[in-house]
Amino acid sequence: THAFIHFPFSRSAIGTFFQEQPLLRNPFTQDALLRGYLRRHLPLQEVQSDLSKFGERVVCEIDDLGRLCEQNPPQLQPYDAWGRRVDRIITCDAWTRMKHISAQEGLVAAGYERHFGEWSRVYQMSKLYMYAPSAGLYTCPLAMTDGAAKVIESLGIPVRETFERLTTRDEKRFWTSGQWMTERRGGSDVANGTETVAQRQEDGSYRLHGFKWFTSATDADITLTLARIADHHGNTIQGSVGVSLFCAEVWGSDGRTNGVEIQRLKDKLGTRQMPTAELLLDGMRARLLSEEGRGVASIANMLTLTRIHNTVSAVAAMRRIIQLGREYSTKRSVFGKLLKDHPLHVQTLSRLEVETRAAFLLMMELCRLLGREETGTATDRDTHLLRLLTPVAKLYTGKQAVAVVSEGLECFGGQGYIEDTGLPALLRDAQVLSIWEGTTNVLSLDVLRSISKSSGRVLQAFFSDVEERLRVAGPTLRPAVQSLSSSLSGLAQFIQTAESHPPENLQLAARDLAYSIARIYMVDHASWEGASHPDVYAALRWCEHDMCPVVSGEIRGCYSTNAALSDSQLVYQG
């Protein structure tokens, strides 16, 4: 007879090995750079303890809610059982909880309470940075809410209740805002794409008729939107000068929409947690916010805020995948040892870390500048830098997030591709960051706009600021300083010669120029006395990039009329 052999794989037994999963840990206490940055600039116990407490809340409560938002995407109920149109967007309870938590934690309010003076935005955005990857995309309505509050505050419009609701910590009163700009003809080219017409009513309000093609977090309480005011004959003015900015409540007190028909919810690659709709505006009652014809310029403040939020979400996604990847490397054993003991694997993580640190520093600089501008402490140079770095940071970090998160997924091997780990959603949600709020090319052109509108003063601000930083860098940073100095002179030379090029050739250089500004600006934290060895090492590694791609592009002849012709032949051959 055979001896009894116990096979671990039989009937219900599925083997004895189970990989220990990577755990999310407190995103504040786990983030040396965030803590180091705040220690350097904002050494307040109150801030540290609030962020540390909030970090625990992210781990213990918010992260699960974010997963629930992903698993229970919003649905549209167009009609009730009796065939009446109701246009209801049904969201899950976790989404509602996110709204309450956002109010309680002051995720918009902190930017307006200005409790920490010029550092209030750094404080607010630090919280959002910890919140974003767990928030089930609730950061999207928060970004637009912050943008709407900023527009209302800066235009000085007497809509006190609306402003108070957008910036309250009271979860029962808190309102969110939408940002309805994109129509079928154009999301980038808003000036030509806007077909929505506004008809003035006798009481001074307006009724809007049009079709908005992308509206995110459409369950918002109010929205800012663009339309062309019609004269008595129904005529409108075309182009940017015909577009005005409006504010409207989305829902009436009876729960019905305010003259809006929801055509459908979009079926998207990512951001599935959040309703994105196509809307017919069929007489939506609205209030004019801007001067007539100043719609695009007036919504620019909202764009600044949402682009900064976009940057925060991009950096946060990078930080999250690294935190989890690092955790995993201490638990996963292959070829006889843990991943953390395979130097090649650690090198991969380290390269991601360098990208993320650089992106973090650019993000924080932007938040710092915004805080200064809003508290009257900004110098002219700060104001110019804020204008320049907003599109630069948004476009650069949006691209980085996709690359870093994609590489980061690979650090989990096959598990990185498996939905119920929660990891793939990070990549799907990162992909949108370079598309909405202005695509990479459109923002690169915005960088050129910021330069030409200021007659070059934003560039002067950039050069003088970087030169000042280079002057104070210590000897450990010498190779980085050398690389940055030579990139800076290359850039200066490029700009000098570019002035003589025709504008279309300058447009060909726009993306590389924006990348050059981003890369050069992404090092700083290593130059203070409390800098750690990893801070310095990260700065040195960062400077091994091609720091000034616009100079290399020029040398390769990428921006000439001939190159444009060859590009066209290459793309359209066949």
Residue 441 contact among ligand UCC, ligand FAD, none, beta carbon within 5 to 8 Å by kind: ligand FAD
- Residue 199 in contact with residue 168, Cβ under 8 Å? no
Q: Is 330 helix (H, G, I), strand (E, B) or coil?
A: coil
215 binds ligand FAD (CB under 6 A): yes
Least separation in angstroms between CB 403 and ligand FAD: 17
**Which one of residues 263, 350, 441, 454 is an interface residue with ligand FAD (CB under 6 A)?**
441
Q: Which is nearer to ligand FAD, 121 or 212 (CB)?
A: 212
Q: Which of 429, 78, 446, 119 is nearest to 297 (CA)?
A: 446
Residue 296 contact among ligand FAD, ligand UCC, none, beta carbon within 5 to 8 Å by kind: ligand UCC
Residue 240 contact among ligand UCC, ligand FAD, none, beta carbon within 5 to 8 Å by kind: ligand UCC
Query: What are φ and ψ of residue 206, in 5° steps?
Result: -130, 155
Please give the Cα distance from 232 to 266 (Å, whole number): 36
**Any idea of the CA torsion for 468, 471, 475, 480, to the nearest 10 degrees?**
60
Residue 271 contact among ligand FAD, ligand UCC, none, beta carbon within 5 to 8 Å by kind: ligand FAD
Q: Which is nearer to ligand FAD, 143 or 389 (CB)?
A: 143
Q: Is 530 helix (H, G, I), strand (E, B) or coil?
A: coil
432 binds ligand FAD (CB under 6 A): yes
Residue 310 contact among ligand UCC, ligand FAD, none, beta carbon within 5 to 8 Å by kind: ligand UCC
436 binds ligand FAD (CB under 6 A): yes
> Which stretch in 255-263, 315-323, 435-443, 558-566 sits in contact with ligand FAD by CB under 6 A?
435-443
Least separation in angstroms between CB 550 and ligand FAD: 16
Q: What are the Cα distances from residue 166, in Å, to 149, 152, 335, 509?
A: 6, 10, 54, 40
- Residue 448 in contact with residue 511, Cβ under 8 Å? no
226 binds ligand FAD (CB under 6 A): no
Residues 6+ apart with CB under 8 A from 33: 357, 360, 525, 535
Query: Which residue of the chain is nearest ligand FAD when measured via CB?
Result: 187
Least separation in angstroms between CB 435 and ligand UCC: 8
Residue 186 contact among ligand FAD, ligand UCC, none, beta carbon within 5 to 8 Å by kind: ligand FAD
Least separation in angstroms between CB 514 and ligand UCC: 13
Report the run of H or E that residue 444 belongs to, with start and end: helix 440-453
Q: Which is nearer to ligand FAD, 442 or 495 (CB)?
A: 442
**Which one of residues 120, 162, 182, 290 is an interface residue with ligand FAD (CB under 6 A)?**
182
Please give the Cα distance from 201 to 286 (Å, whole number): 10
Residues 6+ apart with CB under 8 A from 119: 41, 42, 368, 371
Residue 276 contact among ligand FAD, ligand UCC, none, beta carbon within 5 to 8 Å by kind: ligand FAD
Please give the Cα distance from 387 to 375 (Å, whole number): 16
Q: What is the DSSP letter of 90?
A: E
Least separation in angstroms between CB 245 and ligand UCC: 11
310 binds ligand FAD (CB under 6 A): no
Total Cβ atoms within 10 A of residue 487: 22
Characterize 246-262 residue by residue with b for buried, 16 or more Cβ atoms within 10 angstroms of its Cβ, and e for exposed. Answer: bbbbbbeeeeebbbbbb
Least separation in angstroms between CB 111 and ligand UCC: 14
Contact residues for ligand FAD (CB under 6 A)?
A: 179-182, 186-189, 214-216, 268, 271, 276, 432, 435-436, 438-439, 441-442, 445
